[in-house]
Amino acid sequence: MLGGHPVIAYTIAPALESGLFTSVIVSTDSEDTAAIARHYGAEVPFLRPAPLADDMSPDIEWLEYTLIELKRMGRTWDCFCLLRPTSPFRTASTIRRAWERFMAHEGTDSLRAVEKCAQHPGKMWVVDGDRMKPLLETPAGVQPWHSTPYQSLPPVYVQNASLEIAWTRLVFEGRTIAGDILVPFMTEGYEGFDINDPRDWIVAEHLLADGKVTLPRVPQKSYGARWANSN
C-alpha cells in the first residue's frame, strides 16, 4: 500500500488516463494481484505460468508468452508498451510524451526510458582475486576516469523501469524487446523512480511526505480494505 492504494494502481490509472491504449493488460501469476488489477480497470485475461514469473525470468519469455496467447484469442497490436508497477510516479503525461517521441522517429525499433547515471561506470572496477582493474579503459592521453571528478566524465545514461515502447514484430521476428535501433526517452524529476527494495520504499514514502512528488490520481475506491481483510 502506498498513499492509500496498492502500488500497482499508480501504473494502471495513468495508463488508462493516457488514452493511448486499446487494452491495458496485467501479466501476473497471482490470483490476488489479478483481482487488484481488475479492480483498478486493467484486464487479466489469463495468469502467467509460474516458471515465467520468478526473479530470474527475462522479460522476453513472459512477454512472448503473453502476446502468443493473446494472438490465439484473436487479439493483436502493432506496438506494445511495458509499464512496470514499481514506478509509481510516472504519469499519463509521461506516457504521452514518450509515445510522441517514439512516433516522431521513423525507422526505430524501440524507445526506452533512461536517466543520467548516479554511479558512473568510469569509476567501477572488476575484481579478480587480490587484483582489480577498471571496468572501462580510459582513452590514451586522458586523465584516468577513476581519478576524475564525476562532472568531468563523459555523460552516461542508465535505463530505468518506468517504460518501454516497441513494435510487436520484434518479439515475433527476432525474439527481442529492444531491437537494434533505440530512441532514448529522458525521464524528468522522479518519473523514473523505481521501487526495488525496502530502502526505495522508505525513500518513496519520504518523498510523498515532504511534498516533493505526487501520485497519479486513481478514480476507484481503495482496494486496501478488501485486501487487508482477505489476508
Average pLDDT over residues 73-78: 96
pLDDT score of 57:
85
* Residue 141 pLDDT class (50, 70, 90 cuts): confident
What pLDDT was estimated at residue 224? 73
CB 26 within 8 A of CB 45: no
Higher pLDDT, 228 or 135: 135
What's the rounded Cα separation, in Å, for the pair 188 and 100?
16
Task: For residue 107, count other CB atoms closer than 10 A to its CB.
Answer: 5
pLDDT in tens, 209-227: 999 999 999 999 999 766 5
Where b means 16+ CB within 10 Å and e means fewer, 127-160 reads eeeeeeeeebeeeeeeeebeebeeeebeeeeebb
pLDDT, residue 56, reads 85
Give domain limits for the chain: 9-117+160-230, 120-155
The per-residue pLDDT for 54 is 86
pLDDT of residue 225: 61
What class is the 9-117+160-230 domain?
alpha beta
> DSSP letter string over 194-206?
---SHHHHHHHHH
Residue 224's Cβ-count burial label (10 Å; 0-12, 13-18, 19+) is middle
Query: Could you give the percent of the chain with pLDDT greater than 70?
Result: 97
